[in-house]
């Protein structure tokens, strides 16, 4: 399959253009020629030298990641930037990136994957960012206690051996759950306003502790990496349906 065809299909499915003015990430094809034949595609959370080298070892023609290498462009391709880019150019490995579009996709996205793990029903978009969303909200079929919610996530997510942390300031039973993966505590006020019992995200900020305590809501910190493996895995399944050979590169950070 031509690289341009793969890129067009991904851009259409993820509505990449709709997030162009909202995301610091340069989503879409970040590195690659205008035309190339793609047979093997690797998938990973982070676009870094470790995953580039692993994709080359897997003989991939294209690497698809959630976190890319361009966050507003480059001033110079020198030093660490050069070292990071060199394997891509030297081995003709193309790089496709989807950051917020993959967070916000209501079926294939990261928040949707976490919602699947928790068995949430009656789902709706959550986490407003301009006219778009970067998360999802839903209702648990059976209410969780804070410990049960922690155990469920710890048992299903790739946490790299790190614990799932709960800021336990909400009700004894958790039914309404809001999810913004990665670094999502900026949407704590929106979760409170929506009447959520808990906000599930990856990593926290200092002020989230006091904000959650004062608002009476649980905040679950399950790991940035751990909450953001779902989107690229869903894209891997999609690429497999297109007839491409795929592989997933697991490089958990424990953060």
Name the 3-class secondary structure at 204. Answer: coil
Range list of H helices, the chain: 3-14, 49-57, 79-90, 100-104, 110-118, 146-156, 188-193, 206-215, 230-241
Residue 249 and residue 62 in contact, taking contact as beta carbons nearer than 8 Å: no
- Give CA separation, 41 vs 21, 82, 104, 220, 236, in Å: 28, 23, 22, 33, 8
Residue 199 and residue 178 in contact, taking contact as beta carbons nearer than 8 Å: yes
Residue 216 and residue 170 in contact, taking contact as beta carbons nearer than 8 Å: yes
Question: Is 228 a known ligand-binding residue?
Answer: yes
Question: Is 224 a known ligand-binding residue?
Answer: yes
**DSSP code, position 47:** -
Question: Is 99 a known ligand-binding residue?
Answer: no
Number of H helices, E strands in the chain: 9, 11
Name the 3-class secondary structure at 87. Answer: helix
Question: Is 66 a known ligand-binding residue?
Answer: yes
Neighbours of 182 (CB within 10 A): 22
Please compute, for residue 190, the number of CA atoms within 13 A of its CA located in the half-sphere on the CB side: 18
- The annotation places the binding site at 66-67, 103, 224, 228
- The annotation places the binding site for a divalent metal cation at 66-67, 103, 224, 228
């Amino acid at each position: 399959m031509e690289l341009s065809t793969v890129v067009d299909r991904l851009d259409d499915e993820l509505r990449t253009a709709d997030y162009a003015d909202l995301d610091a990430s340069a989503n879409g094809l970040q590195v690659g020629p205008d035309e190339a034949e793609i047979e093997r595609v690797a998938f990973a959370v982070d676009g870094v030298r470790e995953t580039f080298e692993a994709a080359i070892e897997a003989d991939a023609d294209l690497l698809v990641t959630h976190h890319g290498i361009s966050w507003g462009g480059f001033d110079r391709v020198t030093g660490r930037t050069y070292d990071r880019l060199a394997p891509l150019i030297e081995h003709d490995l193309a790089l496709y990136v989807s950051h917020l579009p993959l967070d916000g996709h209501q079926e294939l996205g990261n928040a949707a994957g976490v919602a699947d793990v928790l068995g949430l029903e009656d789902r709706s978009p959550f986490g407003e960012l301009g006219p778009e969303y970067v998360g999802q909200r839903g209702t648990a079929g059976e209410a969780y206690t804070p410990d049960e919610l922690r155990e469920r996530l710890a048992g299903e997510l790739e946490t790299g051996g790190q614990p799932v942390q709960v800021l336990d300031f909400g009700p004894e039973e958790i039914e309404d759950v809001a999810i913004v993966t990665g670094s999502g505590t900026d949407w704590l006020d929106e979760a409170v306003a929506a009447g959520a019992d808990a906000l599930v995200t990856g990593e926290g900020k200092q002020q989230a502790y006091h904000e959650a305590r004062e608002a009476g809501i649980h905040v679950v910190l399950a790991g940035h990496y751990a909450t953001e493996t779902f989107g690229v895995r869903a894209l891997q399944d999609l690429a497999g349906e297109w007839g491409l050979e795929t592989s997933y590169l697991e490089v958990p950070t424990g953060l």
